[in-house]
Amino acid sequence: MNTQAVVCNQVLKSFGAGEDEVKVLRGVDLTVPLGEMTFLVGPSGCGKTTLLSVIAGLLNPTGGDLHVLGTALHQLKSSKAVEFRRENLGFVFQQFNLLPALTAAENAAVPLLAANWPLKKAVEKAKTLLDELGLGSRVNARPNQLSGGQQQRVAFARALIHDPKLIVCDEPTSALDEHTGHYVMELLRKIAVRPERAVLVVTHDNRIYNFADRIAHMNDGLVTHVEQNGGMN
């Protein structure tokens, strides 16, 4: 059985070409095991968001070998890649990317609607999840009526609602106070860390490092070392 959610071997990513080429990922080796929460940390500009985007199939690598849940995602035809992502991946981005015209519950329900769930059932499930996230009273509010932290929790609900196998989060606690940040990380552990799942979190927030099973350190386009985090297991 495959025990790795993500395997990166010498992954390269450059932007631009010729003299303008910017080599952002310079040969990344990283494995993200199933059943664990892996954090990716490192200085601003070192390539964390780029690596997360490549892993999530939002950017194509320039070179190297990459498997996500046993699939070479970047080698799939784009319609198959979209389907694979829809079914297997959940995202929380640095920007929340909520749709302004939709309510909190409708925003959280989007992955289910994309999977052809009936609207009423999808919104009901979204409301239950938002309630668990402490937003039960705000399910009918639109994003511009919510605080940053509340919007972040809606983005969480949207990432988790379709039970994805791999959840990738970019700075998921940046808009949250310490208490809500801890609450959300605990919930993420509870919902997401199961033997057949994995969570990959990019963060600067050392207040939440103790939630990680392992911490991969990145610097200047490379994963330099990976640390096991003893405390949580």
CA nearest neighbour of 192 among 229, 162, 215, 160: 160
Read out DSSP for 155-203?
HHHHHHTT--SEEEEESTTTTS-HHHHHHHHHHHHHHH-STT-EEEEE-
Binding-site size, ligand ATP (CB under 6 A): 10
Minimum CB distance to ligand ATP smaller for 15 or for 196: 15
x/- track of binding to Mg ion for residues 36-65 (CB under 5 A):
-------------x----------------
Q: Inter-axis angle of helices 148-160 and 119-132, to 10 degrees?
A: 120
From the list Mg ion, ligand ATP, none, partner contacted by residue 158 (C-beta under 5 to 8 A by kind)? none
Residue 49 CB, nearest distance to Mg ion (Å)? 3
Residue 64 CB, nearest distance to ligand ATP (Å)? 16
H/E element holding 18?
none
Contact (Cβ atoms closer than 8 angstroms) between residue 49 and residue 202: yes
Instruction: Identify the burial level of 185 via C-beta atoms within 10 angstroms of its C-beta, where 0-12 means exposed, 13-18 middle and 19 or more buried.
Output: buried
Which of 5, 8, 24, 176: binder of ligand ATP (CB under 6 A)?
A: 24
DSSP 36: S
Minimum CB distance to ligand ATP smaller for 15 or for 115: 15
CA dist 201 and 105 (Å) reads: 24
Minimum CB distance to ligand ATP smaller for 36 or for 171: 171
Q: Which of residues 28-87 bind ligand ATP (CB under 6 A)?
A: 44-50
203 contributes a contact to Mg ion by CB under 5 A = no
Binding-site size, Mg ion (CB under 5 A): 1
β pairing state of 222-228 and 214-219: antiparallel
From the list Mg ion, ligand ATP, none, partner contacted by residue 45 (C-beta under 5 to 8 A by kind)? ligand ATP
Residues that bind Mg ion (CB under 5 A): 49
Residues that bind ligand ATP (CB under 6 A): 15, 22, 24, 44-50
